[in-house]
Structure 1
Amino acid sequence: MSSSISIIGLGTYARALGSRAVEGGNAVEVIGRDAAKAKDLAAALGGAASTGTFGTVPAGDIVILAVPYASAVPVVTQYGDALAGKVIVDISNTFAADATGLVTPEGTSGAQEIAKALPPSAHVVKAFNTVFGHVLALGRPLDVLFAGDDAQAKASVSEFIESLGLRPRDVGGLEMAHWLEGAGLLMMGLAGHGAGFNIALGVDVLS
């Protein structure tokens, strides 16, 4: 089943995710502060990719925040009621610049802080932060761990993940986003201590 998604952000991850989304038959809208760069990215993605205007109501039912965590809350605050009723996918990692800890207070997460800044009718799902962008771009089947409080929002994101040729792995409510962000930090530790960056977390289901 195809989805209608809007991607806020024009970086490497937006390109990798947008490319797989187009290949999966999804309607993709690209949004950035730089309208010319957004147009160029949409053209590069091809398919039905279009561009939107930053700060206005996104076309997609699913809105992917493909921005660094430091920018995420300011972006959703600027959008305000334009995000009402949307499913917001937070892909950010919240580890410090030296990758030795998280910048969020103990007991919370970046995703939960983003949720606080959104209209009550919008629902946050944490996803994709445990998949490196360049690994996503390889096109391989990977596990995508995700968390959220709203069952319908999670079902929509799960269908979208499957459309990318990826395996959705539900880890629970949005409080689990703290541990997903910790898993992102864990991956940085693995990468920096011999495993390299061409790695992915996966779940083996044993019969």
Structure 2
Amino acid sequence: MAAPIGIVGSGAVGRALAAHVVASGRHVVLCNSRSPVTLDSVVENLGPKASALETSAVAAADLVVLAVPWHMVVPLVEQLPPWHGRILVDATAQASHLRLPQPHDLGGLSSSEVVQASAAGARVVKAFCTLPASVLALPPASAAGRRVMFLSGDDAEARSAVSSLIDDIGYAAVDLGSLSTGSALQQPGGPLAGLDLRLPHDAVIE
């Protein structure tokens, strides 16, 4: 059985991703800034493959998706235990709107580079951040094709693992390469932010 996917954050993005993970047949563990019992209704709606745990336990998964508001990112990540090479998927956005952003000044760094600097020992991959939560909640695939999901990161093995997850839940994974370049393309204000693209089901991505 595949290891459960950890999702830190139970807002619209976290819930949408959790639903897709469960629909793919994998298990998911969720957390929020309060306590697991506040997620009882969310877990019940997701079904038996979902559960809620404390943040530290969710963050101990082999692959963790970070889906919290930007102002929470650095304080939250810095208080978590060392990652020891585990994969941290950065699904955050440092602005409230993808296409008309007012992003925070990050001193020339991409948002994922800030996450990487805060998460000691994590292999950070940027993904699940270009689509608005309302679109992310829709089926990843339809008769029109699979929705494109971009990813980027500096570790090839981590990118491969996240690409496999993206494919498993029904999206078409498009690898943008390095964290600095790919994250800048995906984050608010970048050319890929907010784009809802589809690839035919028989398309081959190279």
Interval containing the TM-score (normalised by the shorter chain): 0.7 to 0.9
Q: Does 1:7 pair with 2:2?
A: no
Q: Deviations over 1:123-160 (max 9, x none)?
A: 11000111122112210331001100001111110011
Q: Write the distance in 2 (CA, Å) between the matches of 1:184 and 1:28.
A: 30
Match of 1:20 in 2: 20
**Over residues 21-60 of structure 1, what are the superposed CA-to-partner deviations in whole Å (9 max), with x where a residue is unaligned?**
0001112011122222223322221131112212346352
Matched residues, number:
195
Partner of 1:61: 62
Give the CA deviation at 1:87: 0.5
2:179 maps to a residue whose letter is L
- Give the whole-Å Cα distance in 1 for the aligned partners of 2:153 and 2:165: 15
Q: Check conservation: 1:29, 1:59, Cα contact below 8 A.
A: no
In the other structure, the counterpart of 2:85 is 85
- Residue 22 of structure 1: SS of its match in structure 2? helix
Answer whether contact 2:153 2:178 (CA < 8 A) is retained.
yes
Question: Contact (CA 8 Å) 1:161, 1:167: kept in 2 or not?
Answer: yes
Root-mean-square deviation (Å): 2.7
The correspondence of residues 36-51 of structure 1 with structure 2, limited to 5 A, is 36-51=37-52
> Would you say the 8 A contact 1:147–1:172 is kept in 2?
yes
Quote how far apart the aligned CAs of 1:201 are: 3.6
Question: 1:123 aligns to what?
Answer: 123
Tell me the amino acid that sits aligned with residue 160 of structure 1. Answer: L
Cα gap change, 1:150 to 1:181, in 2 (>3 Å): same
CA contact (8 A) 1:143 1:169 kept: yes
1:33 aligns with 2:33: yes
Cα distance in 1, alignment partners of residues 3 and 198 from structure 2: 24
Alignment of 1:32-181 (within 5 A): 32-35=32-35, 36-56=37-57, 58-81=59-82, 83-95=83-95, 99-105=100-106, 107-120=108-121, 122-139=122-139, 140=141, 141-176=146-181, 177-181=183-187
**Cα displacement (A) at 1:181:** 0.6
**Shift in Å, 1:202:** 4.6
Please tell me whether the aligned partners of residues 100 and 185 of structure 1 are also in contact (alpha carbons under 8 angstroms): no
Q: CA deviation at 1:187?
A: 4.5
Are the counterparts in 1 of residues 74 and 115 from structure 2 also a CA contact under 8 Å?
A: yes
2:56 partner SS: coil
TM-score (norm 1): 0.82
Unaligned runs of at least 5 residues, structure 1: 189-198
Partner of 1:192: none
CA drift of 1:183 comes to: 5.3
Q: Is the 8 A contact 2:59 2:80 kept in 1?
A: no
Does structure 2 conserve the Cα–Cα contact (< 8 Å) formed by 1:104 and 1:110? Answer: no
Which has more helix, going by share of residues?
A: 1
How many Å separate the matches in 2 of 1:2 and 1:66? 21
Unmatched runs of 5 consecutive residues or more in structure 2: none
Tell me the alpha carbon deviations over residues 102-139 of structure 1, each in whole angstroms, 9 at most, x when there is no partner. 3143531111001001122x111000111122112210
